Amino acid sequence: MTIGPLTILSEEEKIFRDQVLSFAQQRVAPWVQEMDEAMALRPDLLKMCFDLGLMAIEIPENLGGAGSSFFNACLAIEALASVDASLAVLVDVHNTLVINAILRWGTPEQRESYLPRLAADTVGAYALSEATSGSDAFALKCRAERRQDHWILDGSKLWITNGKEAGIFIVLANANPSAGYRGITAFVVERGFEGFAVGKKENKLGIRASSTCELIFDGCVVPDQNVLGPVGKGYKVAIETLNEGRIGIGAQMVGIAQGAFDHAMGYLRERKQFDTRICDFQGVQFQLAELATEIEAARLLVYNAARLREAGVPFLTQAAMAKLFSSRVAEKVASRCIDLFGGVGYSREYPAEKYYRDAKIGQIYEGTSNMQLLTVARQLIQQYGG
């Protein structure tokens, strides 16, 4: 893999990126096809991610983490996705959604209780989506009712990434339906809480090794101290966290595109037709140049959004643009690479078809492409005076 552009990474960032990439290529790559067919991640690879610190990139050192940056989290997601998008999205959701939500909104007691566990051995999941709540994210049916010193959650969640592996869940429920979205409240729910269960696992087109599950809340008892952020401000927790999460998905899409491209380049340099390497035909070279340019453009959009987030300046528009463009590029590159492989590209004996299946989700989860277009358009109208 030849990730670039190197000139905008510090030496420390390059070293970190290369270490994650080396782990992915040496330890993850041999199991990718088997995990895809089994629809499950290998537990030993998950443990390695914890041992390497990939599950605690932004967690402060005094709480067991690396004390590193959001940008490095994106570099890790990109590098992992170039080999396996399923493992990448587990690391992504754990870092950019769950840990970020607790870092930003958690009380000191919540941070001290949950962040060391998330750093050491416990996977996190983020539960917002429901059967009737997709792009209309706040049409939640899941309810929360206050009872003395605890809350009772009733309802269900769908399409929850990491549902099978997670031990800690950020759950959005409405504590005051009459107030609409202003009743939405965030909770930290542990797998062992009374009345909580993980339901069926979805059988998906792509990222098949990543678990996507239903969550069931049947009188789930949640202690009062597990409210994340102010009561009724869950919509802010969701919006701000997802804005950051979209940058992570952008990084995943760049990784998918780069991984597909790298495999295609390896094949085209070896495969000959008419006594000529396929990569030496000008028509193919033009396609490769076009794809490489679009991958680089997507990467720069993602990196820019991540840098803006780290600088503490507005990044909503840039995050939406990054996710929109990178997801389109991932699907285009993965599709074109199948074409470049020819007949074998359509076979599961070669990796091209898996990258194509994995790429499709980028235009759907954590905000569809249409929602990203809407976000960008609204920001533009506001910028030009309403």
User: Catalytic site residues?
Assistant: 366
Angle, alpha carbons 105-107-108 (nearest 5°): 130
User: What is the DSSP secondary structure assignment for residue 206, as one 8-state letter?
Assistant: S
- Report the alpha-carbon distance of residue 374 to residue 371 in Å, rounded: 5
- Report the alpha-carbon distance of residue 290 to residue 304 in Å, rounded: 21
- Rounded-to-10 torsion of CA 375, 376, 377, 382: 90
Q: Is 84 exposed, middle or buried (0-12, 13-18, 19+ CB in 10 A)?
A: buried
Residue with tokens 């076979």: 347
Question: Count of residues for the chain?
Answer: 386
- Report the alpha-carbon distance of residue 137 to residue 239 in Å, rounded: 9
Q: Residue 216 in 3-state DSSP?
A: strand
HSE, CB side, 13 Å, CA atoms: give it for residue 98: 35
CB distance 336 to 356 below 8 Å = no
Structure tokens at 369: 């492409």
AA letter at 122: T
| DSSP string for residues in 256-324 | HHHHHHHHHHHHHHH-EETTEEGGGSHHHHHHHHHHHHHHHHHHHHHHHHHHHHHHTS--HHHHHHHHH
Structure tokens at 57: 């990139």
AA letter at 305: A
Backbone angles phi, psi at 130, to 5 degrees: -135, 175
Q: Residue 255 in 3-state DSSP?
A: helix
User: What is the DSSP secondary structure assignment for residue 29, as one 8-state letter?
Assistant: G
Angle, alpha carbons 29-33-38 (nearest 5°): 125
